Amino acid sequence: MKRKFWFIVIYKYLLITYANGEIEGRSLDGHEESLDFGINNINERREIPIQNSVQQNPRYRCYSCEYSDCYDTELRKTHLCQNALQCWKSTTREVNGIVRVSRGCTTHDKIPFCLSNTSAPGKPENGRYSIECCTGDYCNDGDFPEILDFHEDDVTRGQIGNDKIKLSMAIFGPVVFISLLAIVVIYFMRKNHQKRLLATRSKQDPETYYASDDLLRATSAGDSTLREYLQHSVTSGSGSGLPLLVQRTLAKQVTLVDCIGRGRYGEVWRGIWHGENVAVKIFFSRDEESWKRETEIYSTALLRHENILGYIGSDMTSRNSCTQLWLLTNYYPFGSLFDYLNRMSLNHNDMMQICLSVANGLVHLHTEIFGTEGKPAIAHRDLKSKNILVKPNGVCAIADFGLAVTHSQVTGKLDLGTNPKVGTKRYMAPEVLDETINMKCFEALRRADIYALGLIFWEVGRRTLSGGIAEDYKVPYYDVVPNDPSFEDMRKVVCGDNYRPCIPNRWSSDMLLATLSKLMRECWHQNPNVRLPALRIKKTLLKLASTDSKVRLDYEEECV
């Protein structure tokens, strides 16, 4: 019994010692030996189950060598590994540039050297290496793996680039966010401030009259800004503009946006009034007489007309310690006829639209309307392309009445005003230049307007296409006088030489232009008595337009 006991103890000791695969029927020196200790007999008798872990992990034979021995074929065959889980071969490049190679095996299954039989590049602190692992007998034979270069500069650049992007986002991200937040806050603060300011004004200034937005909202029809409201105001004694009570507060209600023109009288600005665009003509203080006269003419009852610039009101204010005289009218984005002709060439329909609308507006000015609230006859005295505005539909409106003269046959009164200025020299009639005009005769003043109308027709005709050709825009007498002619320059050319603008030869082959050239010659005739009245010019143009099927005008009712 004792001998069996000690035999079992020795068997268990050997089983524990070699159970992890250190031996597989072989001795520790690598040679196969029989280990027949009668274990099988004992197992059969004792029926003890044995689980051999060695059989679960296959074992291989591998080459094992270091550095120079690995290249020697004979030496390599003498350096072998037995019972290996994996075989491997590696190449190492040290920091000093020396390349070393080696082969070996992994014998412990709890800490495998490679997870799979693939190459594994690396960069240790003392150099660079590349290793290949495999499974199979002597599978680590052959060429050694190449060291994969590690492009340190590229990685460094990438890291620096990423760092720059992150740094930029960290700096500018909050700045942009704070800026956008500040803009939104300022916008709402200003909006709230405007509301409070408006409420404060209405409480502190009981004389200030603020009409409701529905009442003062401008319409888009023609030139009749605030049409319904202004039609009612005509009977209020304020002429064609707003009631005087409203006009007293216009400067407070208008926001100036941008300057759209400058002249000898002052400036013209585009403004915003109750959400609508308006034109604000700001006079210099030295031109107060022109402002007064223009306000007076616009305030004339029954002056409102499709071809007369729509008037809103006048006001006097102080800006930057300077007195400003404001005149508010409708705003037309195309500007004056002078600007329009510089930009655009015209077809026949455009030409007739412009000429007929200017003539139609001049007829309304020159005609006296009788009645309880009649309209006196008005002579413009400064008619030129810069004082005619173009609407979006191509129809024109006459503006700038600072030198206008009124006449009433009922009272026989001729109101010349107190403005000492005269008109534009380039458009002055011969009788004005040679000072033979009778300023007390209203008919003489009307005929001077007709002379200027003929020059405007000439400007329009030059820009009208005929056979695909149109001349460049030029002002009248551009070829015989300087850009800013003197009174004497114009008198010599117009009165002394009896010269008139040259009519291009191409007009003779175009029926509309040929007829227009005949009409303008009668308008600028040297003898004022020969010139046609405005109504006759209008009827002639209507008849001319009806002969051309390409011309479509909305003046059928006036043809009758």
Q: What is the pLDDT of residues 71-123, one digit of tens each?
A: 777 777 777 888 888 898 888 888 787 888 888 888 775 455 564 444 555 55
Least Cα distance to 59 among 10, 7, 109 occurs for 109
Asked, for residue 297, whether it belongs to a domain, the answer is: yes
Task: Tokens 């200017």: give the residue.
Answer: 358
Asked, for residue 116, whether it belongs to a domain, the answer is: yes
Both 295 and 420 in one domain: the answer is: no
Both 125 and 229 in one domain: the answer is: no
The residue ranges of DSSP E strands in 284-346, in sequence order, are: 311-319, 322-330
Asked, for residue 419, whether it belongs to a domain, the answer is: yes
Both 465 and 347 in one domain: the answer is: yes
Both 423 and 501 in one domain: the answer is: yes
Asked, for residue 169, whether it belongs to a domain, the answer is: no
Both 229 and 120 in one domain: the answer is: no
Asked, for residue 199, whether it belongs to a domain, the answer is: no
The H or E element containing residue 481 is none
The H or E element containing residue 19 is none
pLDDT on residue 43: 43
In the residue annotation, 287 being an active-site residue is answered as no
**Of residues 205 and 89, which shows the higher confidence score?**
89
Both 219 and 291 in one domain: the answer is: yes
Of 287, 350, 382, 449, which is the active-site residue? 382
Both 117 and 146 in one domain: the answer is: yes
Q: CB of 298 within 8 A of CB of 239?
A: yes
Strand, coil or helix: 325 = strand
Residue 422 to residue 85: CA distance in whole angstroms: 116
The domain total for the chain is 4
Asked, for residue 549, whether it belongs to a domain, the answer is: yes
**Of residues 445 and 53, which shows the higher confidence score?**
445
CATH of residue 311's domain is 3.30.200.20
Calculate Rg over the CA atoms of the chain: 53
Asked which of 126, 150, 174 is the last residue of a domain, the reply is 150
Both 462 and 541 in one domain: the answer is: yes
pLDDT bucket at 474, cuts 50 / 70 / 90? very high
* pLDDT score of 394 more than 80: yes
Both 470 and 402 in one domain: the answer is: yes
Residue 491 to residue 432: CA distance in whole angstroms: 9
The residue ranges of DSSP E strands in 387-459, in sequence order, are: 388-390, 396-398, 405-408, 413-415
The H or E element containing residue 2 is helix 2-18
Q: What residue type is 69 in one-letter code? A: D
Asked which of 309, 330, 351 is the last residue of a domain, the reply is 330
Residue 105 to residue 423: CA distance in whole angstroms: 113
Both 399 and 538 in one domain: the answer is: yes
- Tens of pLDDT, residue by residue over 263-310, are 777 889 999 998 899 999 998 888 888 888 899 898 887 888 999 999
pLDDT on residue 151: 53
Asked, for residue 480, whether it belongs to a domain, the answer is: yes
Asked which of 330, 352, 372 is the last residue of a domain, the reply is 330
Least Cα distance to 108 among 138, 84, 134, 132 occurs for 84
Q: What residue type is 327 in one-letter code? A: L
Domain that holds residue 237: 213-330
Strand, coil or helix: 130 = strand
CATH of residue 135's domain is 2.10.60.10
Both 130 and 256 in one domain: the answer is: no
pLDDT bucket at 225, cuts 50 / 70 / 90? very low
Both 39 and 110 in one domain: the answer is: no
